[in-house]
Structure 1
Amino acid sequence: MKINHDFSAPSDSQTPFIHPERPASRFRPLKALHHFRELIKNKEDTEQVFHIFEALPRPGFRKDAKKFVDSEQGKRLLASEPELAVILDDHERLRQMPEGSLAHAYCDFMEKEGLSAAGLIAEYDQFSPRKYGDLIEWYGFRQRDTHDLLHVLTGYGRDALGEACVLAFTYGQNPALGNLFISYAAGLNMKKQVKSQAPIFKAIREAQKMGKACPRINEESVIDLLAQPLDALRERLKIHTPHFYHQAHAQFRAQNVDPYDMLAQAA
């Protein structure tokens, strides 16, 4: 049986790189701190993350985005993967990919956690309903929409430390200050709430180094990644088992602290 992996749609060569009405980025660290305080009250409140990223824009983001969208790889992906959510939420088609592939692991993870790529987009739309339809938006949305894919690739869970590690990994890939701020501020908050010798900051730093060593996932063909065997893919991308993350979990559990509910228990 031939599996159809074609998710492509016609691309518009007239799409501007930056829409003329797109506002300039502004660096607002105090606003970022305010929204982080709201985030630690409820780590599921994803809208606070978007506020933090907006308040801490990445220097060089536009330059990197322009370089990629002008590249042959960027042009191919604009045509073949115009919207990642359409690809990532089509579990029926993803399940047709080989057993043991990233696609199956991703579907298992999303179904177990009750997540969807569309759900993340809906949360973002509440934060920023205005869409500009430019190429820098398309590039940025690829980073947003691959967040849960990074959980599966790296093996980090959706616990507080796991989320901090995924953001640290993302910082290694795309050094937005928002990623770095949230990951280390979350680590500091965990240290404050739960008295433990667990290597929290070592786990975060390990994730950051892995992200830097790994090719940028948002610049890879997500369809191609999904079809590959997960173990071999991790090896190719230089993603190893996160030693300090698992060590931290073991230490938490030795103290009768559930790493997936540690802040609630501390409270």
Structure 2
Amino acid sequence: MPSMPPLPGTTGRRDWKTAINAMRKLLADPDDTAQVFLIMRALNAGNLTKNAARMLATHEGGKLMYEREELARTLSDRDYVASFAPGTVGAAYRDFLNRTGYSAAGLEQVSRETLDKDEDVLHPYVWFGRRIRDTHDIWHTLTGYQADEPLGEAALVAFSFAQVGGLGWAWIAAAASIKSLFVFRRLDFARAVWEGYRNGRKAKWLPVEDYHALLNEPYDAARRRLGISEPVLYRRAQAAMLTDWTPASRVSQPA
């Protein structure tokens, strides 16, 4: 892997104080997406450099970095999203957006409000970070991990760590798993998160994909081509949460 210079103006040091404060807030409110961006910036020092080098080492990646398309704009185009044929990845992504109410523009807005000017730096490394941000919900669609629940988000975070590295991803996945042990006193949640990591390790490297072609590809065929495994333990844990999981704090309360 070729070595790359650091991002100008950065020290390469991790900001543990910011990360710890953000993690406390995220564990208290899993829907507080702003804290995820703060943790990533605080702990993923040097990670963008490594991923940029990996992307540049491929013909496809070199072309993508040369073009530097901002996918948030494309994926926020309603006509574009509406154009995908039934049964494609794009159609599944459209269904995901309609079901959750999420959008690429919404995620972009949260990151900009949280990270201010750092998020819009015109540099290939930062562009790579935006690419991961903007395709996050496509990864939800491909993996089958729901975005509107802590379990699905934690499993995809683990999958993302396997794909692109970065201590921030690992820390969030581990913290969510540890919290689940205290809340539910069961291993199902943690096992589903670990499965997400293993599935991410086995899958092809998603950042270098041509997302225009991918979105037009038949959903099942795309998952097979990319080597994305079925989330068996995730679905098992998800079903258990809906039926027989009771938080430990409630178990101990008198009737």
In the superposition, the TM-score normalised over structure 2's length comes to: 0.87
Please give the secondary structure, in 1, of the residue aligned with 2:73. Answer: helix
The question of 1:107 aligning with 2:97 is answered: no
Alignment match of 1:97 (pick from 78, 81, 84): 84
The question of 1:253 aligning with 2:242 is answered: yes
Q: Which residue of 2 aligns with 1:124?
A: 111
Q: Which residue of 2 aligns with 1:4?
A: none
Q: Which residue of 2 aligns with 1:135?
A: 124
**Structure 2: distance between partners of 1:24 and 1:166:** 29
**Structure 1: distance between partners of 2:74 and 2:103:** 11
Q: Which residue of 1 aligns with 2:213?
A: 224
Q: Which residue of 2 aligns with 1:11?
A: none
**Structure 2: distance between partners of 1:105 and 1:81:** 25
**How high is the sequence identity, in percent, across the aligned residues?**
31
Q: Is the 8 A contact 2:158 2:169 kept in 1?
A: yes
Alignment match of 1:165 (pick from 151, 155, 165): 155
**Structure 2: distance between partners of 1:46 and 1:226:** 25
Range that drifts further, 41-50 or 74-83:
74-83
Post-superposition Cα deviations, 1:91-133, rounded to whole Å, max 9, x if no partner, equal 3223323210010110111121111101111111111221320
The question of 1:215 aligning with 2:204 is answered: yes
Q: Which residue of 2 aligns with 1:82?
A: 69
**Structure 2: distance between partners of 1:78 and 1:86:** 17
Range that drifts further, 52-61 or 160-169:
52-61
In structure 1, list runs of 5 or more residues that go unmatched: 1-16
RMSD: 2.4
User: After superposition, where does 1:197-216 map in structure 2 within 5 Å?
Assistant: 197=186, 199-216=188-205
Letter in 2 for 1:178: G
Letter in 1 for 2:44: P
Q: Which residue of 2 aligns with 1:187?
A: 177
Q: Is the 8 A contact 1:101 1:230 kept in 2?
A: yes
Shift of 1:71: 4.2
Shift of 1:70: 6.1
Alignment match of 1:178 (pick from 154, 168, 187): 168
**Structure 2: distance between partners of 1:19 and 1:164:** 28
The question of 1:61 aligning with 2:48 is answered: yes
Shift of 1:18: 6.7
Please give the secondary structure, in 1, of the residue aligned with 2:87. Answer: coil
Please give the secondary structure, in 2, of the residue aligned with 1:128. Answer: helix
Q: Is the 8 A contact 1:19 1:133 kept in 2?
A: no
> CA 1:67–1:234 in 2, change beyond 3 Å: closer, same or farther?
closer
Alignment match of 2:35 (pick from 22, 42, 48): 48
In the superposition, the TM-score normalised over structure 1's length comes to: 0.83
Please give the secondary structure, in 2, of the residue aligned with 1:66. Answer: helix
Shift of 1:151: 0.8
**Structure 2: distance between partners of 1:209 and 1:231:** 20
> CA 1:184–1:156 in 2, change beyond 3 Å: closer, same or farther?
same
**Structure 2: distance between partners of 1:183 and 1:153:** 19
Post-superposition Cα deviations, 1:218-249, rounded to whole Å, max 9, x if no partner, equal 21111111010111111111112211111112
**Structure 2: distance between partners of 1:126 and 1:151:** 23
Q: Is the 8 A contact 1:58 1:175 kept in 2?
A: no
Letter in 2 for 1:235: R
Shift of 1:80: 5.4
Q: Is the 8 A contact 1:18 1:135 kept in 2?
A: no
> CA 1:256–1:204 in 2, change beyond 3 Å: closer, same or farther?
closer
**Structure 1: distance between partners of 2:86 and 2:67:** 23
